[in-house]
Chain A
Amino acid sequence: MKLKSILLSTGIALVGAPMALAQEMADSMTLVSWGGAYQQSQINAYSDPYKEMHEGLTVVWDESSNEAVAKLRAMNEAGNVTWDLVDVTAADAMRLCDEGLAMEIDHDEMLAPAPDGTPASDDFGETIVSDCFIPQIVYSITFGYRQDMVGDTPPESVCAIFDTETYPGKRSLEKRPINNVEWALLCDGVPKDEIYDVLETEEGQDRALAKLDTIKDDVIWWSAGADTPQLLADGEVVMGSTYNGRLFSLIAEQGQPVNMLWDGQVYDLDGWIIPEGLPEDRLARAMDFVKFATDTQRLADQAKYISYGPARASSAPLVSTHATLGIEMAPHMPTDPANAQNTFLQNFEWWADYRDDLDAKFQAWLAK
């Protein structure tokens, strides 16, 4: 009874709003994203075509996704949320949802179905990791290595990062435990599907840190996504982890002597959330836009500009060539079957629990 009434009321709000309030949509909206090439790809694929369809609409882009969680909380406390749609990682979306800062969403009601009629929730599948999350892209944290610094035996396994004998030199890893501890356990012989069970124990965490300890002196720790590409380009590191799109632009657009290492890559997701508590006209506009921007064609279009995989299953076949380079994009997608032979999806729920604890341990370990 309770559930039914919630469904009914959201149903009315969600279905009813775009139809009944079509004339009452706000004529400007503020979108928040990460800046750089990624934001540009969103402008090209989503907001420019949408603006053409809606005369007189002003779209403001804000490059604040990095601190979106903190800013949204501050805006919410001040009672003045100025953002209409925010691009965040899946983990941040979960946190915003937990904090009550993001709106819960009925994916099937709100988002466009696939062209063959598959409802959105099935089309997005397991990328819907939170009730508030509207998935957009699948990206991966993966490794790139310098062709000229690995000798005749280019690395084929992610465990090359722990092999300082064969691959001497520095490597760059992100300055946080997420992904690093998983790789450490993976390369310490833990089967992929047991990693989080092992990490849950005190011994497992110590084991992961002990493994990382073996290369601690050989690591440059990065905190910005641009660090590893820069370090690779300078020859400061022999290999390093970063977002696969950054490596793509380093290799394909800048022609650096760097190769991708498609092994042990960790999938992560990025998508939209709608802030809680928007006034009706802005909410209607945000929902109208997000329905457009996450339909099958739009997600496939984004892949023309950046090598991140669309979160919808139905978009994959539509991925075409790069808008300016003209190269086929599918082989550069983290979701491409050839690249996805040994991957794993981050366990977001697990990290939501253990993030603070492990981060404290990781930082204490780093500082020692």
Chain B
Amino acid sequence: MSTLNSSGPQTADAPTPDDAFHEATGLDARESQPPHGSGDGDGPVLAADGRPLKQSLKRALRAQKLRALMLIAPLLIFVLVTFIAPIADMLFRSVENQIVSDTLPRTTQALAGWDEDSGAMPPDNILAAFTYDMVAAAERKEHTRLGTRLNYEMTGISSLFRKTGRRVDDFGETYLDQFEALDPAWEEAKTWVRLMGDPDWLAANADWAAEADAAGRDFDKPAPPFELKPGIAAALPETADAYAEFARITQVEDEDNPAEEEPWAPVYLALFRDLAKQPAPDFAALAAPDRALLAPAAQAVPDFETVALADLYIKADEDWADPEVWKTIKAFSPDYTSGYFLASVDLQKTVDGVSAQPEDRQIYMLLFKRTLFMSMVIMGSCVLLGYPIAYLLSNLPMRTSNLLLILVLLPFWTSLLVRTSAWKVLLQQQGVINDILVWAHIVADDARLVMINNQFGTIVAMTHILLPFMILPLYSVMKTIPPSYVRAAKSLGATNWTAFWRVYFPQSVPGIGAGCILVFILAIGYYITPELVGGTTGTFISNRIAYHISSSLNWGLAAALGTILLAVVLILYWLYDRLVGIDNVSLG
């Protein structure tokens, strides 16, 4: 190997296995060409153990790479688990929308076939599906969560769902009463469970109940999950579905026994709908007792007093009559939605497609533009103020420059809130600067300058706060610029300015690049300072993100806004790389 190294590419560094590897690849390449000159090139070069050199080198390298990977593994895993994964998870929320189809599975399916341009409420079959979904969601206390979610899209849905959730378990009571009048057996939990439940499950459940009674309070063995009787779903599809949902919720949410609970009213609604279907349902596959129970009911159903579901909903809240509500549910039925992203660029998603937000609600594009513009201004003023300071720092004698450096770092170590509040004291209308100006008769007492709670205040405060992030990389780069270059330029006849501009400045560009990237990226995501001193014209997009995270709980929109912000930063970074070159950035 040592012979190979000596003939390998000459670098100033000590030889590495990589060099050897390149060398070996080079050898291979030479082999594949017809030999000329040195004629001993038949067959691959072999290592001492007789394997091809390339292979054994690869093996040696793999082991080393593995070792390197294992060394960084703790950090890599740490970063992945605590940083990348949570961010990815959070950003993923910007498209996630399963809550609608999870909470209203039947409705979203039924609505897919609904003609949203009908201008009316959906027909009874969709409303029935919605009723089964709603009563289950209300029992699980999930309907209000969905209401909150949909309220982001249409104002008023929140209370619509909250109010309706309280009443929906009465929907179908008309049918409940009539079935009971027909045959009191319908009132019995046992009738239902025998009609619907799988015989094996019934037996297992009875055993479980007996065991529970015997054990008393501390019994915590889970009940056997409810199973439908084979064939019942074919004969009474809606009823079987509604009852199975009822049984599951009774078991899981209430920890009760379905064999002892009368089903909620919408199950009777389902039974009525099944029995009233044309052509009449076929009970041939059912056992005799079930047929005996259902046959008279099926006969009586055509004479039942009916109630339109639409009326029940309108009675619960007249907003249900508004087709817009149903359109919103339909538009947000899919598991993934572009709605949040559209909202974050002042568009809105409707069932007919994409349209602009009403003008009086457009804000995000304005804030994005403002955030970018102000971050640029802050970055620019940091360069202007930071460059001379960094120059001084790196050219003064050690003792003085250390003192200066401490002055730069001192505010850096001070709490952000303290510094921001200090600017308030300085800049406000009854503040220090205005007082001095009034005292010096530069401004009149009744015409004090407004320097805070606007863009100016934000720019001043943030420039001050971010200045160290500009000075430090500049300083570390300038420190490495040998003073002899400028002296040489001068000795060759350059003026002070030319020597600075043509010789010194180009060498300090990597520091400017690093400082600009740091300041800009920090500025773009700032929110405490703009919140405190920004007033109305100096707030950033991050203030809205914070609002949606902590106040409105619209995490989807916050995630979409955050994703866009991240994308903008990455694009700008890429642009910067193309224009300036990221190699020209030095953090010291």
Q: Do A and B come from one complex?
A: yes
B-binding residues in A (CB < 8 A): 1-2, 5-6, 9, 66-67, 69-70, 73, 95, 97-100, 104, 170, 206, 220-221, 223, 234-236, 349-350, 352-357, 359-361, 363-367
A98 adjacent to B148 (CB under 8 Å): yes
- A–B pairs, 6, beta carbons within 8 Å: A5-B254, A70-B551, A73-B553, A223-B531, A350-B159, A356-B151
- B361 and A356 contact, CB distance less than 8 A: no
User: Could you tell me the dominant secondary structure of chain B's interface residues?
Assistant: loop
B251-292: which residues lie under 8 A (CB-CB) from chain A?
A: 254-256, 261-262, 264
For window 449-478 of chain B, which residues contact chain A by CB distance below 8 Å?
A: 453
- Whether the pair B553, A364 counts as a contact (CB closer than 8 A) is no
Q: With the chains together, A234 CA to B428 CA distance in Å?
A: 9
Kindly supply a per-residue 1/0 record for chain B positions 63-106, scoring 1 wherever the CB is within 8 Å of any chain A CB and 0 otherwise: 00000000000000000000000000000000000000000000
Q: Known interface pairs A98-B162, A99-B148, A367-B537. Does A353 touch B361 (Cβ–Cβ under 8 Å)?
A: no
**Chain B residues, CB < 8 A from A355:** 552
Nearest-neighbour CB distance to chain A for B328, whole angstroms, equals: 13
Interface status of B55 (Cβ within 8 A of chain A): no
Contact B261 A1 (CB under 8 A): yes
Q: Report the separation of the CA atoms of residues A232 and B2 in the bound assembly, to the nearest whole angstrom.
A: 81
Contact of A349 among B159, B169, B360, B547 (CB under 8 A): B159
Within 8 A of A (CB), among B101-152: 141-142, 144-145, 147-148, 151-152
Q: Which residues from A are CB-within-8-Å of B532?
A: 223
Q: Once bound together, how far apart are the Cα atoms of A355 and B151, in whole Å?
A: 9
A-B contacts besides A98-B144, A170-B429, A223-B532, 16 pairs, CB < 8 Å: A1-B261, A5-B261, A95-B148, A98-B145, A100-B142, A100-B145, A221-B453, A349-B162, A352-B162, A353-B151, A354-B155, A354-B156, A355-B552, A360-B361, A367-B370, A367-B536
A352 touches B158 (CB 8 A): yes
Going nearest first, the 10 A-B pairs with the smallest beta carbon separation are A98-B144, A357-B155, A364-B363, A70-B550, A366-B536, A67-B550, A360-B361, A353-B159, A1-B262, A235-B430
Roughly how many angstroms separate A357 CA and B547 CA in the complex, as a whole number? Answer: 14
B569 at the interface (CB under 8 A from A): no
Q: Which of B358-381 contact A (CB under 8 A)?
A: 360-363, 366-367, 370
Minimum distance in angstroms from B267 CB to a CB of chain A = 11
Contacts of B535 in A (CB 8 A): 220-221
Candidate in A67, A365, A367 with the most chain B CB atoms within 10 angstroms:
A367
- Shortest C-beta distance, A235 to chain B (Å), equals 5
A361-B361 in contact (CB<8A): yes
Interface residues of B in 321-372 (CB under 8 A from A): 360-363, 366-367, 370
Is B54 part of the binding interface, using a Cβ–Cβ cutoff of 8 Å?
no
Contacts of B517-545 to chain A: CB distance below 8 A: 531-532, 535-537, 539, 544
Q: Is B563 an interface residue (CB 8 A)?
A: no
Bound CA span A9–B549, Å:
35
Q: Tell yes or no: B56 within 8 A of A by CB.
A: no
A240 to B460, CA, bound (A): 26
Report which of B145, B254, B429 forms a contact with A99, defined as CB distance below 8 A. B145
**How far apart sit A356 and B363, CA to CA, in the bound complex (Å)?**
13
Residues of A within 8 A of B159 (CB): 349-350, 352-353
Contact check, A364 vs B362: say whether CB atoms are below 8 A apart: yes
A349 to B145, CA, bound (A): 15
Q: How many B residues, CB 8 Å from partner? A: 48
Docked pose: A183 CA to B151 CA in angstroms: 25
Is there an interface contact between B531 and A356, defined as CB atoms closer than 8 Å?
A: no
Give bound CA distance, A354 to B148, whole Å: 11
Residues of chain A within 8 A (CB-CB) of B158 are 98, 352-353
Q: Are A363 and B550 in contact (CB under 8 A)?
A: no
B558 (CB) vs chain A CBs: closest residue: A70
- Bound Cα distance A136, B19 (Å): 74
Residues of B contacting A356 with CB < 8 Å?
151-152, 155, 552, 554
Distance (Å) between the CB of A67 and the closest chain B CB?
4
Which residue of chain B has its CB nearest to the CB of A20?
Answer: B217
Q: Report which of A220, A223, A363 forms a contact with B363, defined as CB distance below 8 A.
A: A363
Alpha-carbon gap, A220 to B362, bound state (A) = 23
B549 touches A70 (CB 8 A): yes
Q: How far is the CA of A206 from the CA of B359 in the complex (A)?
A: 12
Chain B proximity of A175: nearest CB distance (Å): 8
B544: chain A residues within 8 A (beta carbon): 363
Question: Across the interface, which residues of A come within 8 angstroms of B539, CB to CB?
Answer: 367
A69 touching B256, Cβ below 8 Å:
no
* CA–CA, A197 and B176, complex, Å: 38
CA of A350 to CA of B163 in the docked complex: distance in angstroms?
12
> In the complex, what residues of A have CB within 8 A of residue B428's CB?
234, 236
Of chain B, the residue at the smallest CB distance from A216 is B536
Cα–Cα, bound, A367→B365 (Å): 11
User: Looking at the complex, which one of A100, A235, A364 makes contact with B141 (CB distance below 8 Å)?
Assistant: A100
Contacts of A70 in B (CB 8 A): 549-551, 553
Closest residue on chain A to residue B552 by CB atoms: A356
Query: Which one, A2, A69, A221, contacts B551 given CB within 8 A?
Result: A69
Q: Which residue of B lies closest to A169 (CB)?
A: B429
Query: Counting chain A CB atoms within 10 Å of each CB, which of B360, B429, B532, B539 scores highest?
Result: B360
Inter-chain contact A9/B152, CB cutoff 8 Å: no
Alpha-carbon distance between A97 and B156 when the two chains are bound, in angstroms:
17
- Closest A residue, CB atoms, query B425: A234
Q: A2-B169, A2-B261, A221-B535 are in contact. Are A99 and B363 (CB under 8 A)?
A: no
Q: How far is the CA of A213 from the CA of B330 in the complex (A)?
A: 38
> How far is A184 from B229 in the complex, measured between Cα atoms in Å?
63
Across the two chains, which residue of chain B brings its CB closest to A71?
A: B550
Alpha-carbon separation in the docked complex, A359 to B554 (Å): 13
Expressed in whole angstroms, the Cα–Cα distance for A116 and B555 within the complex equals 47
Cross-chain contact A95 with B553 (CB below 8 angstroms):
yes
**A residues less than 8 Å from B144 (CB atoms):** 97-100
Alpha-carbon distance A350/B156, docked complex (angstroms): 8
Tell me the complex Cα distance, A45–B533, Å: 36
Q: How far is the CA of A183 from the CA of B179 in the complex (A)?
A: 55
**Which of B254, B261, B366, B531 interacts with A367 by CB under 8 Å?**
B366
Closest to A365 in B: B360
What are the residues of chain B within 8 A of A99 when measuring CB–CB?
A: 144-145, 148, 553
CB B15 to nearest CB in A, in angstroms, measures 51
Give B305 Cβ to nearest chain A Cβ, in Å: 23
CB closest residue in chain B, given A72:
B553
A227, chain B: closest CB distance, angstroms: 9
The interface residues of chain A lying within 8 Å CB-to-CB of B162 are 98, 349, 352
- Chain A, Cβ-Cβ closest to B554: A356
Quote the shortest CB–CB distance from A33 to chain B (angstroms): 17
- Determine the chain B residues whose CB is within 8 A of the CB of A98 once the complex forms: 144-145, 147-148, 158, 162
CA distance A292 to B362 in the complex (A): 49
Contact A367 B367 (CB under 8 A): yes
Task: Output the least CB separation between B293 and chain A (Å).
Answer: 20
Pick the most buried of A6, A73, A223, A363: most chain B CB atoms within 10 A of its CB: A363
With A2-B169, A5-B256, A98-B147 in contact, do A360 and B549 touch (Cβ < 8 Å)? Answer: no
- Chain B residues contacting A6 (CB-CB under 8 Å) are 254
A357 to B544, CA, bound (A): 14
B95 to chain A, nearest CB (A): 17
Q: Choose from A69, A353, A359 the contact partner of B156 (Cβ within 8 Å).
A: A353
A360 touches B169 (CB 8 A): no
Taking a contact as CB atoms under 8 Å apart, the answer to whether A361 and B360 are in contact is yes
Asked if B363 and A360 sit within 8 Å, CB to CB, the answer is yes
* CB-nearest residue of chain A to B187: A1
User: Which A residues are in CB contact (< 8 Å) with B551?
Assistant: 69-70
Question: Residues of A contacting B547 with CB < 8 Å?
Answer: 359
Taking CB atoms and an 8 Å cut-off, the chain B residues in 30-79 that contact chain A are: none
A20–B362 alpha-carbon span in the complex (Å): 57
Interchain CA distance A73-B145 in the complex, whole Å: 12
Question: Contacts of A2 on B, CB cut-off 8 Å?
Answer: 169, 261, 264
Return A283 CB to nearest CB of chain B, in Å: 16
Q: Among A220, A354, A367, which residue has its beta carbon within 8 angstroms of that of B453?
A: A220
Report the bound CA distance from A353 to B163 in whole Å: 12
Q: Which residues of A contact B553 (CB under 8 A)?
A: 69-70, 73, 95, 99
Known contacts being A70-B549, A98-B162, A367-B367, is A353 close to B261, with CB within 8 Å? no
